[in-house]
A and B are shown apart, each in its own frame.
Chain A
Amino acid sequence: MQRYKKLSETSEVRTGKFTKREAALMISEGVRHLHSSVEADPDGVLTSEALKRDSIPTYSWEQEERSHSIRLSSSSDRCALAQNFLKATSLRRELREKSESVLEELMTNAIYHGFTNADGSPRYARRATVQLNNSEELKILCFPDEKGVFFHVTDNGGSLSFEDITQSFKRCYQKKELQIQSNEQGAGLGLYMIFEEVTHLKIVSRAGEQTEVSCWIADQRFGDTHTFSFNFFAAA
């Protein structure tokens, strides 16, 4: 069984009533586990008992077993995939548009940042149309229902680090005039936009092997906008 750092060995679990911006600033300072209220952890996953376990906790919003599975093999398919899949659901407009945006950014990050060369440089240029080769996998699970949408995107590049997240949040939340990067691989807004739009975000990183990003976008009619969570787990 893959061993992960116990929560107790990582930074503390931060709880309390705070805004997304306040949460992002805590994350940029090193907080890896955060939930904004008791309602954000209804299963009591992040409890003192969970801290003793070696396995990654699974949340009730992670609907993997009920999800539709999609495999993305080409970058040119991603926009149509996001729009067409969600158009077929009965989601209301705001939730559908948020979901399209989040799914587009998750897929884009996986393709253009997830897969790297031996020297760590991105394998694919942003403006290039990418056809993933047989060894490259980008798996997407989606489950929309009337209360929200679940996404789970897995790539076998394994390039997303906690430092990537802290740097992104520092730039996007602290320095408004420097929010946008000018490098060719992207604007540097993807993680920020995902965090802003989703309700729960969980990232599991196995460096050089796999990155899993799991998120839930709640329909705001049914939830409190101050209830959200962020969790980053890294393989030991």
Chain B
Amino acid sequence: MIHNDKFQIEQMMRGEHRVLLLKGIIDEDTNLDQLLSLNGPLIFSFQAVTSINSCGVRTWVNFMKQVANRPVYYDGCPPLIVRQMNMVPSFVGHAKVLSVFASYICDSCEKEKMLHIPNKSFGKNIQESFPCEACGNGEMEFDGQPQQYFAFAK
């Protein structure tokens, strides 16, 4: 749908909802103008975003201002996006965050695992740890501090 060497947006249907899958690098070269012509709510999946720099944050914030009157949802936000949500409040703006990914790491074998966390669990009721399936010895622990990680949800 939108394509440059570094960044692409693909449309996919999830049930009756159109989801816009963001892929690659969001930076000063990212152009989101084509999205303005879409109708209906905007549901963005960030799980395939690999990098975002400060100008990419500005690009996104400016885009969010242009769609201030439309329903916007963020889904599948990886840690690098969650960090921006916490550092720059206007990155979320008026969007509703449906889910994020959180990183867990085994205290024995150091294997990493991303856990999908829906918004009903933000900051509370999240699994602090669970057994590591890879080594069978250790516990997968939340990599970071939940209070800081979910600060955007307050």
Contacts and interface: CB of A to CB of B under 8 A. Distances in A.
- A and B found bound together: yes
Interface of A: 79, 83, 92-94, 97-98, 100-101, 104-105, 108, 126-127, 176-177, 179-182, 186-190, 192-193, 196-197, 220-221, 225
A92 B143 contact: yes
A228 to B, nearest CB: 14
A189 B25 contact: no
Contacts of B148: 225
Contacts of B90: 176-177, 179-180
Contact of A94 (B50, B61, B103): B103
Contacts of A189: 54, 57-58, 87-88
Nearest to A100: B51
B80 A101 contact: yes
Contact of B54 (A83, A97, A176, A190): A190
B144 A105 contact: no
A127 B144 contact: no
Contact of A187 (B50, B57, B79, B103): B57
A179 B80 contact: no
Contacts of A97: 79-80, 83
Contact of B61 (A79, A127, A180, A197): A180
Contacts, number: 78
Interface residues of B, number: 29
Given A92-B112, A94-B103, A193-B87, A187 B143 contact: no
Given A79-B51, A105-B53, A190-B54, A179 B88 contact: yes
A20 to B, nearest CB: 10
B128 interface: no
B53 A220 contact: no
B89 interface: yes
18 contacts: A79-B25, A79-B27, A93-B112, A98-B83, A108-B53, A127-B28, A186-B54, A187-B57, A187-B58, A189-B54, A189-B57, A189-B58, A189-B87, A189-B88, A192-B87, A193-B54, A196-B87, A220-B144
